[in-house]
Structure 1
Amino acid sequence: MQLQQMLKLLVASVSVLSFGVAGCTEQRQLDAQAQQPTAPATQTAQPAPDTQTEQRQPDVPYVPTPQVVVDEMLQLANVKKGDVIYDLGSGDGRIPITAAQKYGTRGVGIDINPQRVQEANANAQKAGVTDLVEFRQQDLFKSDFGKATVVTLYLLPDINVKLRPQLFQQLKPGTRIVSHDFDMGEWKPEKVVQVEGPNRQHTLYYWVVPKQIPANLR
């Protein structure tokens, strides 16, 4: 009788252990699936105008621009209230937000990383400028900058050069462009400014879109 009770207890313990292991395995599978990129579902509704459905890795790592450099970029571009500033690779949104706070300028930030866009929107709300700025989760190479009078960017040299034909195609003559740290290859800047930051010196490049695009830049 005592042996039968011991066997029953042993069977019950094994059943509980098996259930626990199965539960842990299932949860781990769910966690792994949650971390996997989700295949885009087929939808009949159109995506929101400020969001693109495709996802890919960002072209550049996220490195925030020091505030002293942000201020100098806006000053170099001679930003005014009537301008529309597009920040390409907008990160936490500090450039459009600063422009809105200091000059009352309307701004659009574009970033492919949804986390950065969410952070930028939260920062705009804290700054009280949501009526002046918006942030779009988009691929820069599939975006439209045509309404910009000022473009700011902090990308990489090869990305700048790759983006250059798109800027020439979309931007009106007279549009001002300021790049943090990196130039645009054969397109020589009109001004180059050095800015002393918290940890190092930063270089700013300034261009104005010409009426006629030189043949070697097309």
Structure 2
Amino acid sequence: MKAITVLYGMLMLAFMVPITMQAQQMIDKDVPYVPTKQEVVEAMLTLANVGPNDMLYDLGCGDGRIVVTAAKKFGAKAVGIDIDPERIQEARENAQKAAVENKVAFLQQDLFKADFSKASVVSLYLLPSVNIKLRPKLLQLKPGTRVVSHAFDMGDWKPDKQMLVGNSTIYLWTVPDVK
């Protein structure tokens, strides 16, 4: 009977460890992964006037589609930041398929701790609470840096422009010169 109890305990532990690890990963993610439609990606990059002289940072990059499109179609250099290792791997594979891996990088990092100070454009598809929490860091970027967001605004920081693409709203802000 004791051997059965020990075996049962070992089996429970074997099943619970992966569940606990998955739960911890879910806790660490502030935003669920929802891919942006390609037409919205292209509209975001167009609204932000992304071009070959830009350094775009996509915060919460998911599968990397904004980063890849910025490099392939708009000629920009781009960096994607995501906390999920599976998304980072998928993004790297997508960059390789698109033959832009020499113009892009993907970093597995917490976007609140990441350095994106070299950005001329920042793209977001995050929840409103995350945008608000991120706003002070965005406002410290170089004046003139463009911030483009899919679906969610920045509270009382009013956008310079917004547009509707299908059922999606896109917002654009320009970091002001506070001098």
TM-score by length of 2: 0.88
**Alignment-derived partner of residue 14 in structure 2:** 30
**Alignment-derived partner of residue 132 in structure 1:** 103
- 3-state secondary structure, aligned to 1:174: coil
Larger radius of gyration: 1
Whole-angstrom distance in 2 between the partners of 1:56 and 1:135: 22
Identity %: 55
Tell me if the contact between 1:145 and 1:167 (Cα under 8 Å) persists in the aligned partners: no
**Alignment-derived partner of residue 82 in structure 2:** 111
One-letter code aligned to 2:171 = Y
> Structure 1 residues 128 and 28, CA, compared in 2 at 3 Å: closer, same or farther?
farther
Tell me if the contact between 1:161 and 1:185 (Cα under 8 Å) persists in the aligned partners: yes
Alignment equivalent of 1:173, drawn from 137, 143, 150:
143
Whole-angstrom distance in 1 between the partners of 2:138 and 2:76: 21
| Structure 2, unaligned runs of 5 or more | none
1:121 equivalent to 2:92? Answer yes
Following superposition, the deviation at residue 103 of structure 1 comes to: 2.1
1:157 equivalent to 2:123? Answer no
- 3-state secondary structure, aligned to 1:142: coil
Following superposition, the deviation at residue 133 of structure 1 comes to: 0.8
* Cα deviation 1:66-121 (Å, max 9, x = unaligned): 00000000000111111000001101000000111112211111111111111111
Following superposition, the deviation at residue 33 of structure 1 comes to: 2.9
Following superposition, the deviation at residue 144 of structure 1 comes to: 1.1
Q: How big is the alpha-carbon RMSD for the aligned residues of Structure 1 and Structure 2?
A: 2.4
| Structure 1, unaligned runs of 5 or more | 1-17, 39-53, 214-218
Alignment equivalent of 1:74, drawn from 41, 45, 51:
45
Q: How many residues align?
A: 176
> Structure 1 residues 124 and 29, CA, compared in 2 at 3 Å: closer, same or farther?
same
Counterparts of residues 195-206 of structure 1 (less than 5 Å): 195-196=165-166, 201-206=167-172
Alignment equivalent of 1:189, drawn from 153, 159, 163:
159
Tell me if the contact between 1:84 and 1:150 (Cα under 8 Å) persists in the aligned partners: yes
Higher relative contact order, chain-length normalized (CA < 8 Å, sep 6+): 2
Tell me if the contact between 1:86 and 1:151 (Cα under 8 Å) persists in the aligned partners: yes
One-letter code aligned to 1:210 = P
Following superposition, the deviation at residue 27 of structure 1 comes to: 5.5
One-letter code aligned to 1:133 = V
* Cα deviation 1:10-50 (Å, max 9, x = unaligned): xxxxxxxx999977874663343344439xxxxxxxxxxxx
Tell me if the contact between 1:89 and 1:153 (Cα under 8 Å) persists in the aligned partners: yes
